[in-house]
Structure 1
Amino acid sequence: MHIELNRGSSKSLPQQISDTLGQRITSGLLQPGIRLPSVRGLASSLKVSQVTVSKAYEELESHGHIICSQGKGCFVARRPLTPVEAGSAWQDGYDDFLPRAQLWRNFDYSAVQYPFHLAAIHSELLPLQYIGATMSSLVTGQPELMASYGNFQGDAELREVMCRHLQSRGVEVPSSDVMITSGSQQGIDLVARTFVGPGDTVYLEAPSYTGAIDVFAGRGAEMIFIPIDSEGMRLDVLTRLCDKRPPKLIYTNPTFQNPSGVTMSMTRRQRLLELARSYRCLIVEDDPFSDLYFHKPPPPPIKSMDKEGHVVYMKSFSKVIAPGCRIACVAAGGNILSRLIAAKSASDLGSPLLNQRAVLPFITRRYDAYTRQLRTALRGRMETAVKLLKRYAPPGVTCNVPEGGLNLWLQLPGAEGIGKLHARAEQAGISFLPGDVCYSGEVPSRHIRLCYSQMKEADMEKGLRLFLQLLTEHLRTDQLT
């Protein structure tokens, strides 16, 4: 079993082993019933002492992730194997290099009636008919598009449109500095695979976007999480830590942050860019939600102030207009972008040309008017959800009212029992995102994320009432026990 250990890390070796195995277990990569390597075997493969592995296993057992039996070994929380699972048991010992995979679990709720887990917009609010009609006409009128590889950097006309869109928001870049990706998730992955290696220091907000954590963990990065407050990432904490561990990269989602909904102030955006200059590092600015404000526009992107190429800016259109089309743009300067294009060419030979041409007319002619209407609809859903929380949420449950975006970030009285709450909610046909997956896993989170835009408003209201009733019962039971 491969585990990337950083012997220069401030985190102990037992903790690194425990964290990696714990994240594999919670994300389903190590399934119930699987036997873990022996203490001696894992110690030998990792070139550490048996005491180190024993401490890691003790930590996992204390959290209920594994069960250890004298003479038999240590197993992930066990259940009987089906014949199919038993027949493929040889795969359990086949090494992989995935330290965690929480993101894929976020989509695995097809059976629930009230899906609050996924930060997405309900199909009735999306311009799917317009984009679908465009795609249909392209398929019949220009079928050769399906026989063509797209340019590695992206369709030239779409890049021009993206360039004008960014310029209207203060980001002055030529189209030669823009690349089209299959969603911002691919952009994050390309940056990580190009510039981050084992042991490199990556700073993120705490909490942070699950998909980014998965990507940087997969590169073996030393991830350090910086707490946030009402103005975003705590730059005083970041600066103090950077003096001890200079950053290779800083990842931030500064506008209506996922999952917390917090927006970074203009002052902190300026200071963060200054810090990147002083340490000669990259900032990855992930911006899927800035067009979804409810009252006034948020501060301009950090990229708008970047004159030296420290910011790799990612603007997703997938989430806002058509998630299935997987369209985002990445803006970066100099040979940073050149290297990202090279990495993308090895990744997918170019994003699908048909998808790029399908969204092009809508972004060109209708995007701004559409987002104005969308903001109104999302604000109504948010206000309905907040009213329900104020009326039905049990004592001790708090939530800041977001100024934009798709999510509510709830804080519960304690972290204990959120796993049980999650299981009870699923049984009732309700899903939510546990806060633990938005951190690296060292400390249990007291938070959960609820998305108010994934359902029709009536369904959202009914589902949220049911969930708050379930939450009240859960907390009452927890207090009695």
Structure 2
Amino acid sequence: MHIDLNRHSGITLTEQIRTAVADRIQSGLLQEGEKLPSVRNLSKLLDVSLMTVFHAYELLEQEGLIDRIQGKGSFILGKSTRFKNRPNQKEAEKPSMDWQNTVADYLPRAQYWRMMQSPLVDVAKLSMAALHSSLIPTEWITKQFFLHAQLDHSLLTEYGPVQGDSKLRDAVLPYFREKNIVAGPNEIMILNGSQQGIDLVASTFVGPGDVVVLEEPAYPCTIDVLRRRGATIFTIPIDEEGMQVDHLAALCDTRPPKLIYTNPTFQNPTGTVMSARRRAQLLELAQSYNAIILEDDATSDLYFGSAPPPPAIKSMDRHGHVIYLKGISKFISPGCRIGFLIADGTFMTRLVSSKGISDLGSPLITQKAILPFFTSNQLQKHLPVLREKLKERRNLVLQILNRMAPKGVRWTKPDGGLNIWMTLPHAMNADDLHTFALQEGISFLPGHVCFPAQQQYHHLRLSFSYLDIHTLESSLITLCRLLQGFTQSDRHSERIMHI
């Protein structure tokens, strides 16, 4: 089992080992019943003391994630077997594949993969921050696919340019100018979704030990990418104005970051908006310390008031510190897998080279199908309707929570985006609540996946965009009833949380 240990991070080696193993378990990379390396073997592999590994395993057992059996070893507990004493006889009779755990991989966690697993197929997905099919112009997009495939067969027979179709890059310039982002077509790259942009920036600029700053809580897939790169991750808490930049300034004095990741507008998972004042302060800090800001702008088009949110940080950038990401998944179509990256100077050259290594270029057919969105008035017609429908869903969720949520439960009231962040009383465990919710046919995102370290288990994210409005209503009512019963029982105290 490969675990990157940073002996200069200020986090104990015991905690780093505990976090690494817990992340693998909660991501599903370590499966129920698998045997962990022995204390002796792992201590030798990681070059740490026996007691360091012993205490890490002890903490994992206290959390109900593993079961240590005297004379046999330490085994992964799934949700169905936590707090039970042994693997059952049927599992014990399976041919052993424990040798595979001696083969090192470099996947510290993979939370999105875990969220998309088959148990969620027939579940009402309050966990999914995506649009319901009725909110996507599928018929219009389908016609574009069919038309372009008929007109130009080369779209299916040739590789596209690595940087993306030149006509699409030209067509989106007015869209970005409306956001006060002035860029030429050579400063834009087309991606297979903005998630690829996060991965490209990380693989190009972040290496083992590099200091990276995230908001806390943070978009879980970004944590996955940066942990895989071996980055030293520091987190900055969020308040009603977004990232607390004064905390970041204090960190920069001792550990100046190479990269600062921010999702400043309707932040995922909390829905908060970074104020214009803090955006300017964040850019000033990046300039002072020669840091890169990776600005992930997923949902700024989905505002519910009459005025849009503050301009992007990129709109203020004059020295090339900001790499800007814009995906269309949250407001046009997730299935098309189209995103845009804007960068200046040599950053773009390096990122295009990285993309060429990664995928040889994005599919041309999807780029051509999306092109008319930006060359006609289709986007201007689509967005106001989408905003109103999402606002209706958000209002419905808030009304139900205000009426039915138990005392002590708090939640955000976002002015846009797709998500509501809920905070339970500190003693409650949202991961355990999720187990009971699945039994009722409901899923949400347990909040612990949004914390790269020192995980907090009393939060959860509700997405109000993926379900049809009737299923959304019934699911929220069921969840509130479940919360009522959960808070009144002692089920939430079964697991001893390590926070």
TM-score (norm 1): 0.97
What is the match of residue 229 of structure 1?
239
- Aligned partners of 1:70 and 1:399: how far apart in 2? 44
d(CA) in 2 for partners of 1:85 and 1:289? 47
Q: Which residue of 2 aligns with 1:367?
A: 379
Q: Helix, strand or coil for the counterpart of 1:255?
A: coil
Per-residue deviation, residues 119-148 of structure 1 (Å, max 9, x unmatched): 011010111110111101122222221111
> 2:98, 2:53 → 1: CA distance?
24
| 2:480 paired with 1:468 | yes
1:297 and 2:300 are equivalent in the alignment = no
The structure 1 residue matched to 2:361, chosen from 333, 345, 350, is 350
Output the CA distance in 2 between the equivalents of 1:273 and 1:266.
11
Match of 2:416 in 1: 404
Kindly state the Cα deviation for residue 343 of structure 1 after the two structures are TM-superposed. 0.6
Q: 1:214 and 1:472, CA in 2 relative to 1: closer, same or farther beyond 3 A?
A: same
1:435 to partner: Cα distance: 0.5
Structure 2 letter corresponding to 1:50? L
The corresponding residue for 2:496 is none
Give the share of equivalent positions with the same residue, in percent: 47
Is the 1:6–1:198 Cα contact (8 Å) retained in structure 2? no
Match of 1:104 in 2: 113
- Report the equivalent of 2:165: 155
Amino acid at match of 2:27: S
Select 1:308's aligned residue among 301, 308, 319.
Answer: 319
Deviation at 1:319, TM superposition (A): 2.3
Cα distance in structure 2, aligned partners of 1:420 and 1:190: 35
Question: Mean Cα displacement is larger for which, 435-444 or 266-275?
Answer: 435-444
Post-superposition Cα deviations, 1:195-230, rounded to whole Å, max 9, x if no partner, equal 001111110000100110000010011111110000
Q: 1:91 aligned to 2:100? A: yes
Equivalence for 2:402:
390
| DSSP 3-state at the match of 1:23 | helix
The letter of the residue matching 1:142 is D
Gap change, CA 1:292 and 1:467, over 3 Å in 2: same
1:7 Cα deviation from its structure 2 partner: 1.4
Contact 2:217/2:450, CA 8 A, preserved across alignment: yes
Give CA deviations for 1:301-322 in whole Å, capped at 9, x if unaligned: 0000000000000001122111
Q: 1:435 to 1:480 in 2, by over 3 A?
A: closer
Secondary structure in 2 aligned to 1:75? strand
TM alignment of 1:277-292, pairs within 5 A: 277-292=287-302
Query: How big is the shift at 1:478?
Result: 2.9
Comparing 98-107 with 73-82, which one deviates more in the overlay?
73-82
Q: Which amino acid aligns with 2:16?
A: Q
Query: Which residue of 444, 465, 484 corresponds with 1:432?
Result: 444
Secondary structure class of the residue paired with 1:318: coil
Question: What letter is aligned with 1:104?
Answer: W
AA matched with 2:177: Q
Q: RMSD in angstroms over aligned alpha carbons?
A: 1.7
Deviation at residue 69 of structure 1 after TM alignment: 2.2
Unpaired runs of 5+ in structure 1?
none
Q: Within 5 Å, give how 1:41-56 maps onto structure 2.
A: 41-56=41-56
Inter-partner Cα distance in structure 2 for 1:122 and 1:227 = 31
Distance 1:143 1:66, change over 3 A: same
Contact 2:211–2:233, Cα closer than 8 Å, also in 1: yes
Stretches of structure 2 that go unaligned for 5 or more consecutive residues are 82-86, 494-499
C-alpha distance in 1 between matches for 2:120 and 2:71 = 41
Q: Secondary structure at the match of 2:37?
A: coil
Higher mean Cα deviation, 305-314 or 46-55?
46-55
Residue of structure 1 in register with 2:339 after alignment: 328
Q: Secondary structure, in 3 states, of the residue corresponding to 2:331?
A: helix
Equivalent pairs counted in the alignment come to 481
CA contact (8 A) 1:315 1:328 kept: yes
Deviation of 1:90 after TM superposition, in Å, equals: 4.3
Deviation at 1:91, TM superposition (A): 3.2
- Contact 1:230 1:263 (C-alpha < 8 Å) held by counterparts: yes
Amino acid in the other structure paired with 2:237: P
Q: Which amino acid aligns with 1:349?
A: L
Local SS of the residue matching 2:18? helix
Partners in 2 of 1:84 and 1:298 — Cα distance?
59
Bigger shift: 352-361 or 409-418? 409-418
In 2, Cα distance between equivalents of 1:191 and 1:15: 28
1:61 aligns with 2:70: no
1:29 matched to which residue of 2? Answer: 29
Contact 1:130–1:362 (Cα < 8 Å) also in 2:
no
Contact 1:410 1:447 in 2 (8 A): yes
Q: Secondary structure at the match of 2:156?
A: helix
Decide whether aligned partners of structure 1 residues 113 and 16 sit closer, same or farther in structure 2, where only a CA change above 3 A counts: closer
2:154 maps to a residue whose letter is: E
Where 2:107 maps in the other structure, the secondary structure is coil
Per-residue CA deviations over 1:356-408 (Å, capped at 9, x if unaligned) read 11111123221122111100111111111111110011111111211000011
Q: What CA deviation, in whole Å up to 9, does each residue of 1:423-479 have, x standing for no partner?
A: 110011000001100101413232111111101111111111111111111111138
